[in-house]
Amino acid sequence: MSSDTSKFKTVLNKTWNAFRFIIPIILSVLLIVAFVQAIVPVESYQNIFTGNLFLDPLIGAALGSISLGNPIVSYVIGDGLLQSGVGLVAVTAFIISWVTVGFIQIPAEAFYFGKRFALARNVTSFLGAILIAIVIGGLL
């Protein structure tokens, strides 16, 4: 019985430590998103994202690919974009490319895994993000 209690306390402690790490990140992103939404007019998003089923995911994937951050943050930013009127297709491409593509990190990835692999993985992930976003847009 005490073994189960000890395991539970260990798991609870690990969970608390994870939350202590994640909460400041999420709060800072929420502040940044709120700040950007206050400064950048909604019309500028509508100028960038036109609702085009093929252009919007390309732009979203490009922005996600050059962004650097925690995957959890992408969901918060994605919600902010949706609330600003950006289409689901663009936001889907943004989130997928944020999580799977890392053009900024290619030098480190190439060092560890080789240039060919790093480039192939990033290009494939980029194109996959666009394709998945278009499929999602077609389904919804």
- pLDDT, tens digit, 9 for 90 and up, residues 12-22: 999 999 888 88
* Domain enclosing residue 8, as ranges: 2-139
Condensed to tens digits (0 to 9), the pLDDT of residues 43-61 reads: 777 788 888 888 999 999 9
Average pLDDT over residues 20-39: 77
Average pLDDT over residues 109-122: 93
Total tally of structural domains belonging to the chain: 1
What's the pLDDT band for 37 if we cut at 50, 70, 90?
A: low
pLDDT at position 84 is 84
User: From CA 108, how far away is CA 114, in angstroms rounded?
Assistant: 9
What's the pLDDT band for 103 if we cut at 50, 70, 90?
A: confident
pTM > 0.75: yes or no: no
Q: Quick check: 87 and 56 in contact, CB under 8 A?
A: yes
